[in-house]
């Protein structure tokens, strides 16, 4: 009967443990808290033993993704970087936007396929966000030169055309890593979207896998909902839109809302 090694995965501290020994966990998304594998030759380093034994016994998708510092209810990670703003290069930082809501979204790469549809959609609706005191900022791991070249490419040729929102260059990948959206194995960002309030506090996080774009309407609705709760202290039920009923977060007063359902 073949011997089996059981490995426990501590996602919080980033270690594999087995038989009283621990090794750094470089596989960051195993989708399960433990796994078993046949022990390979002992003359290999522990991580090599783990990988070889693991692939000999079973396989499932492994993805590496940065953990980041972005947490709901905490200050959003500040950044300072070069962006393309109104067709010009400009250094901007998140703290410049204090006092306004910010929608900060990441996309994988310039000159791709889903990305221009999202960026153009957000840019075309920039005034809708500004009317409610919110700015929209896009970011990718491309250089500001690449951003500008893409902006100068006509939309009918897959370009962006005139932009009403800044595009931040994260060439060092520091910002993507801080926000926990960096796909480490490919060096690009997932489609992360962050709603940051007027005090710089992170209120909402959405991270899409690469093939699927995001909804501008839903993003606008979320900003409006958070602003409503900020102002009135009431809470917004599922699918809430401006003008619809909210809930008073009180055992007795909430019954007014539920009695109408």
Instruction: For residue 259, give Cα distances in angstroms to 105, 238, 245, 252.
Output: 39, 16, 12, 11
Q: How far is CA 252 from the centre of its chain?
A: 37
Helix (H, G, I), strand (E, B) or coil at 48: helix
Residue-wise DSSP of 18-36: ETTEEEE------SSSEEE
Q: In this structure, what token pair is assigned to residue 64?
A: 């590496």
- Other beta carbons within 10 angstroms of residue 80's beta carbon come to 13
- Alpha-carbon radius of gyration of the chain: 23
Q: Tell me which of 25, 37, 115, 139 is the catalytic residue.
A: 115
Residue 20: which region, alpha, beta or left (left: phi > 0; alpha: psi -120 to 50)?
A: left
In the residue annotation, 134 being an active-site residue is answered as no
Rounded CA-CA distance 214/194 in Å is: 12
The secondary structure of residue 77, as a DSSP letter, is P
Distance CA 139, CA 124 (A): 17
Which sequence positions are flagged as catalytic?
115
């Amino acid at each position: 009967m073949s011997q089996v090694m059981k490995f426990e995965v501590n996602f919080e501290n980033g270690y594999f443990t087995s038989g009283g020994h621990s090794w750094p966990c470089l596989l960051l998304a195993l989708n399960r808290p433990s796994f078993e594998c046949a022990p390979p030759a002992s003359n290999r380093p522990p991580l090599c033993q783990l990988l070889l034994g693991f692939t000999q016994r079973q396989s499932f998708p492994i993805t590496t993704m940065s953990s980041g510092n972005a947490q709901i209810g905490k200050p959003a990670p500040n950044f300072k970087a070069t962006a393309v703003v109104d067709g010009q290069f400009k250094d901007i930082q998140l703290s410049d936007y204090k006092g306004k809501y910010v929608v900060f979204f990441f996309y994988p790469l310039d000159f791709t396929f889903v990305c221009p549809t999202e960026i153009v959609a957000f840019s075309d609706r920039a005034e809708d966000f500004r009317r409610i005191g919110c700015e929209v900022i896009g970011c990718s791991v491309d250089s500001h030169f690449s951003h500008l070249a893409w902006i100068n490419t006509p939309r009918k040729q897959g370009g962006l055309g005139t932009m009403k929102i800044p595009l931040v260059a994260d060439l060092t990948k520091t910002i993507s890593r801080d926000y926990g959206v960096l796909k480490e194995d490919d060096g690009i960002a997932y489609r992360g979207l962050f709603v940051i309030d007027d005090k710089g506090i992170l209120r909402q996080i959405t991270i899409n896998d690469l093939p699927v774009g995001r909804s501008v309407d839903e993003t606008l609705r979320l900003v409006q909902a958070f602003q409503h709760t900020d102002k009135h202290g009431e809470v917004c039920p599922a699918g809430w839109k401006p003008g619809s009923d909210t809930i008073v977060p009180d055992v007795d007063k909430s019954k007014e809302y539920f009695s109408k359902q």
